Amino acid sequence: MQFTALPSVGVSCRFLQKLGNCTIIMSVLPPVRKDRIIGQLPKCFNRGAALNTDDEFHSKVKTACQQQRTGTVGFKISKVIVVGDLAVGKTCLINRFCKDVFDKNYKATIGVDFEMERFEVLGVPFSLQLWDTAGQERFKCIASTYYRGAQAVIIVFDLTDVASLEHTRQWLEDAMKENDPTSVLLFLVGTKKDLSSPAQYTLIEQDAIKLADQMKAEYWALSALSGENVREFFFRVASLTFEANVLAELEKSGSRRIGEVVRKYIKDHPKMKVFVLTDLEKLSITSVGCGLL
């Protein structure tokens, strides 16, 4: 294989190789943080509004991980988009998880921004690309161009603002225009739990759970200010996305060929880490001005 040197794109990318319709990027990366290791399926927030009520990962997924038959899953960057009204707390939610900070000085997101989070799920490396999109109407046309190719959609509303919950229907519709509804995991997330009174919280949660059921989404309530349920939520997103990826990989014909080539290279170069970017993911990265490819 011949590899081409690349500039950094937020992760320490170093080399590039085309393989079929995929681009393999070899990268020297630090180990996954200890607090990003997932060994069992995280619990849902509410069993009455969950995508999956199982207590463990799918048996096929566990077996595939144990036998190292996950194909290219460990090398892909899975795209997650976060949408919702202006000022519902999308950026604060992402920053609390990725940076463990909370900025009280509100700044509206202009266009889009993204963070990369690396996990290890059942011993397999797995990365999420969290896309923070603008909630302002004037930026909607810009943000919507980044919806395509999402494997999970997080629809955010404010637990103290009923209107923001009602608007989630439109946000879902916009996101699904760019994606296949049958292959995207949906999460309906209420923020600012710390600001909601018990009575107010009970009422809006009842409506949110009903809406989540209609959307076929998983419901969560959390607080970016206090950090309540934030880590648990993103671990849940990572785990369910990983599980869906592995199951899809196991069903895919021809995936072994790429997986075997990559695994052989890793075996020969134990200090290297690998990401596989599809043409769509390359477009996403270059669109934000990184100039990768």
The model's pTM: 0.77
Residue 50 resides in a domain: yes
For residue 30, tell me if it sits in a domain.
Answer: no
pLDDT tens for 17-34 read: 555 555 555 555 567 899
Domain count, the chain: 1
Residue 272 DSSP symbol: -
> Of 286 and 243, which is predicted with more confidence?
243
Distance separating alpha carbons of residues 79 and 96, to the nearest angstrom: 19
pLDDT of residue 40: 97
Q: Is residue 197, in this structure, part of any structural domain at all?
A: yes
pLDDT tens figures, 136-191: 655 566 667 788 899 999 999 999 999 999 999 999 999 999 899 889 999 999 99
The rounded percent of the chain whose pLDDT value lies above 90 is: 58
- Where residue 146 sits, what CATH number does that domain have? 3.40.50.300
pLDDT at 4 > cutoff 70 = no
Alpha helices (H) along the chain? 59-66, 90-99, 140-144, 162-166, 168-176, 198-215, 230-251, 255-268, 279-287
Q: What is the distance between the alpha carbons of residues 244 and 183, in angstroms, rounded to a whole number?
A: 9
- Supply the mean pLDDT for the chain: 80
Distance CA 30, CA 65 (A): 21
Per-residue model confidence (pLDDT) at position 21: 59
Average pLDDT over residues 188-201: 95
pLDDT, position 285: 40
Q: What is the pLDDT of residue 181?
A: 87
Asked if residue 241 has pLDDT above 80, the reply is: yes
Residue 2 makes CB contacts below 8 A (sequence gap 6+) with 17
pLDDT for position 64: 92
35 domain residue, yes or no:
no
On whether residue 84 sits in a domain, the answer given is yes
Classify residue 225: in a domain, yes or no: yes
pLDDT (0 to 100) of residue 134: 72
The burial of 89, by beta-carbon neighbours within 10 Å (0-12 exposed, 13-18 middle, 19 or more buried), is given as: buried
Q: How confident is the model at residue 2 (pLDDT cuts 50, 70, 90)?
A: very low
Question: pLDDT band at 61, cuts 50/70/90?
Answer: very high
The answer to whether position 275 is within a domain reads no
Domain range holding 155?
42-58+80-249
Give a yes or no: residue 89 inside a domain: yes
Summarize pLDDT for 77-133 with one digit per residue, the tens: 899 999 999 999 999 999 999 999 988 776 766 567 889 999 999 999 999 999 998
